[in-house]
Amino acid sequence: MTGIYQNSFKGKKVMITGGLGFIGSTLAYRLVDLGAEVLLVDSLIPEYGGNIFNICGIEDKVKINIADVRDEHGMNYLVQGQDYIFNLAGTLSHIDSMRDPYTDLEINCRSQLSILESCRKYNPDVKILFAGTRGQYGKADYLPVDEKHAMHPTDVNGINNMAGEWYHILYNNVYGIRATSLRLTNTYGPRHQMKHPRQGIINWFIRQAIDGELIKIFGDGKQVRDANYVDDVVEAFLLAAVSDKTNGEVFNLGGEPASLEDLVKQIIEITGKGRYELISFPEESKKIEIGDYVADYTKIKKTLEWEPKVSLKEGLKKTIDYYEENKQHYWKTGEVL
């Protein structure tokens, strides 16, 4: 599939918000390989996942601007001249969004509107890709979940992401700013933050297994989730960026379904360490638990011929190998820049 966009990014100016984070930095490596001029915008707020080590090996091939997407004046300047914007900055924690709803509102909702206003005023020809989330759907009415499924989020994060996404679609429809949203499922892989479990349970299970710890699974462990290895997610973003068929559209990404218990068993088998137990849901988690989720990604498969290539077993092995080699850059709680 790379041939479709092989020359599309060569010499193009590309901005990635959340660029020092998990998906943003992985995307940056691919764009550098494709000859793009890459600008990484990241606030480096502790706990959000930005990590200078994530761009080790390409630090002299990208530009970095330490900025917060909530800074309207900064965004007005940064969007100028960009051919593509991958808008990946945002908070991901369901629990945090309930504890601190105003911060979630500012970053996942108001800031998205602000970025779009900057584009409308200073760069209306840009193509912008937004990272939506399965959390917008809430508890599934049916499986697999397609894009026509009703959105009834169970937490503040899902509501704000839903609004952020639809700001993008609105600006596409009204102002002609080409915008697309990919609704991500459970994305895992190298360069994910590993300091806490609030942004991705798969990577947290991996940390616990590597450390030989007891992994605690809430509920009966039968909850089904699907997952995408980060390279497959990056491929979807690149394909969506260069296609006019995606303008004004939303697409599910999806992957290989597995129960949480089976997922943990695979992680323990690969690491050769760790053990697990099933425990009752904490009350604050139980209230916003979505139950089983499996995405129907037929739409993006038909439109862009995208489908995940990396199996769960292969992806887990690659992720575990990466962290076993580089854990010192991810386990620590403070960054020295």
pLDDT for position 335: 43
Share of the chain above pLDDT 70, in %: 97
pLDDT over 60 at 122, yes or no: yes
Structure confidence at residue 334 as a pLDDT band (50, 70, 90): very low
Could you give the count of Cα atoms lying within 13 Å of 172 in the half-sphere of its Cβ? 21
pLDDT over 90 at 284, yes or no: no
pLDDT for position 47: 75
* Rg of the chain, C-alpha, whole Å: 19
Distance between CA 127 and CA 88 in Å, rounded?
A: 14
Q: Please give the average per-residue pLDDT across 296-312, as a whole number.
A: 98
Tokens 């700001």, residue located:
167
DSSP string, 45-67: -TTS---GGGGTTTTTTEEEEE-
Q: Please give the average per-residue pLDDT across 229-240, as a whole number.
A: 98
Q: 23: how many CB neighbours lie within 10 A of its CB?
A: 23
Peptide bond into 257 cis (omega under 30): no
DSSP state, residue 145: B
Query: What is the 3-state secondary structure of 31-46?
Result: HHHCCCEEEEEECCCC
pLDDT over 50 at 221, yes or no: yes
DSSP state, residue 274: -
pLDDT over 90 at 288, yes or no: no
pLDDT over 90 at 270, yes or no: yes
- pTM assigned to the model: 0.95
54-96: pLDDT as tens digits:
999 999 999 999 999 989 999 999 999 999 999 999 877 788 8
- The residues pairing with 278 across neighbouring beta strands, listed in sequence order, are 217
What average pLDDT does the structure give for the chain? 94
Interior CA angle at 247 toward 68 and 121, to 5°?
Answer: 45
Q: Which residue has the higher pLDDT, 322 or 335?
A: 322
156-212: pLDDT as tens digits:
999 999 999 999 999 999 999 999 999 999 999 999 999 988 788 999 999 999 999
